[in-house]
Amino acid sequence: MRSKRDSLKGETCEHCGGLLTDVTLTESFRVRGRLIVVEDVPLGLCTSCGEKYFPAAVLKRVETMARITGPRAQVPRAPVLPYRRRKTAT
């Protein structure tokens, strides 16, 4: 079932050219105006600058999850706050 493009390990960062590695993190996504927090998201992390890259399959799955979960799913058990202020783009 696993897509061959799930892993970004070995890809290079388009910002600094560093190598990406596979990590799983708790991430928030804005899907059609709704903010959802997803735990254990597999993504590629640049080992040099820390830039995050989400495989297309992951973004697709998050969008599906946002569709099938109720409005309550927007609220995590505890507030998840970004340590650094994020850009509010998109």
Binding site residues, Zn ion, CB under 5 A = 13, 15-16, 18, 46, 48-49, 51
Min. distance of Cβ 7 from Zn ion in angstroms? 17
Min. distance of Cβ 51 from Zn ion in angstroms? 5
Tokens linked to 37:
């927090």
- Closer by beta carbon to Zn ion, 13 or else 66: 13
Q: Which residue is nearest to Zn ion (CB)?
A: 13
Buried b (16+ CB within 10 A) or exposed e, 73-87: eeeeeeeeeeeeeee
Min. distance of Cβ 41 from Zn ion in angstroms? 19
Q: How far apart are alpha carbons 66 and 74 in whole angstroms?
A: 9
Q: How far apart are alpha carbons 80 and 86 in whole angstroms?
A: 13
Q: Which of 68, 1, 65, 67 is nearest to 27 (CA)?
A: 65
- Closer by beta carbon to Zn ion, 14 or else 39: 14
- Closer by beta carbon to Zn ion, 28 or else 48: 48
